[in-house]
Structure 1
Amino acid sequence: MSTTDTARLLPWSSPDGNPCFLVGDGTGYVSRIADEMEEAQLDSAAGLIKEARHLLDARTWTPGELHLLAVELTSSLTDVHRVAKSRGARLTMSDVDGPEADEDPGDHNIGDEGSGPRLPAEAFG
């Protein structure tokens, strides 16, 4: 394995429930499919958050609705956790070290892509 190749945790499991990994430089077909699936999982989680807030704000839920919401939130949280672990494991040390010397740390706004602190992969283990 070259120094540019890393093992990537994929956003799906094997048929027997084990994690799947991809070794490569992150530019191939399977990497692009994984990127698209991760994005869909994160979009789904965002939609589910809105749905949960709407249901809980109404305060007219049934026990069945709360149960279904808990099941859906658990499934979505599992997907998001896998995405976080995968992306955290792929951070480079320069990402963890913080902004470059010539970059003003105040240049980033909350909510910007890539803003916020970078955590080492161990934080997701």
Structure 2
Amino acid sequence: MPSSRPRLLPWPGLNGQPCFLVTDNTGTGYLSRLADEMEAVQLRTGADLLGHARPLLRDRKVDACELRFVGHRLAEALHDALRVAQSRGRRLEDGEETATGES
């Protein structure tokens, strides 16, 4: 049975627009598995970056260029994490609708 909504993928489409995948609810297709793996990499990368950023932000000797760099990377990681959360939230909502018989 097809999903009620397309899956938001963890990478941008053309011109930076959101990219969606229409699939069944099994999540076992190649693109679904690739998206799952990419989400896991994005979340791990964000966690690793946060681990490096905290000591850097506490160091009073760090210059503005380094702070801007880590700020940009943190913003990218946050963007990725929010996209993952949005995608997973949509899929959870779809699962709740299926479980209750609503559409």
- In structure 2, stretches of 5+ residues that fail to align are 98-103
Aligned pairs, how many? 93
Amino acid across the alignment from 1:22: L
**Where does residue 53 of structure 2 map in the other structure?**
52
Amino acid across the alignment from 2:43: L
Q: Which moved more, 1:34-43 or 1:58-67?
A: 58-67
Q: How does 1:24-39 map to 2 (within 5 A)?
A: 24-25=23-24, 26-39=27-40
Percentage of pairs with the same residue = 48
- Alpha carbons of structure 1 residues 3 and 37: separation in structure 2 relative to 1, 3 Å: closer
* Per-residue Cα deviation, 1:35-60 (whole angstroms, up to 9, x for no partner): 00000000000001101111012222
Cα separation, 2, equivalents of 1:4 and 1:30? 15
Q: Is the 8 A contact 2:12 2:18 kept in 1?
A: yes
1:93 has 2:90 as partner: no
More helix by share: 2
Q: Is the 8 A contact 2:3 2:22 kept in 1?
A: no
- In structure 1, stretches of 5+ residues that fail to align are 95-125
Partner-residue secondary structure (3-state), 2:16: coil
Q: Is the 8 A contact 2:8 2:21 kept in 1?
A: yes
Cα separation, 2, equivalents of 1:21 and 1:4? 12
Partner-residue secondary structure (3-state), 1:13: coil
1:13 has 2:12 as partner: yes
More strand by share: 1
Amino acid across the alignment from 1:15: L
Give the RMSD, CA atoms, in angstroms. 1.6
Q: Is the 8 A contact 1:5 1:24 kept in 2?
A: no
Partner-residue secondary structure (3-state), 2:39: helix
Cα separation, 1, equivalents of 2:15 and 2:3? 30
Q: TM-score, normalised by structure 1?
A: 0.69
* Runs of 4+ in structure 1 over 2 Å off: 2-6
1:81 has 2:75 as partner: no
Q: TM-score, normalised by structure 2?
A: 0.82
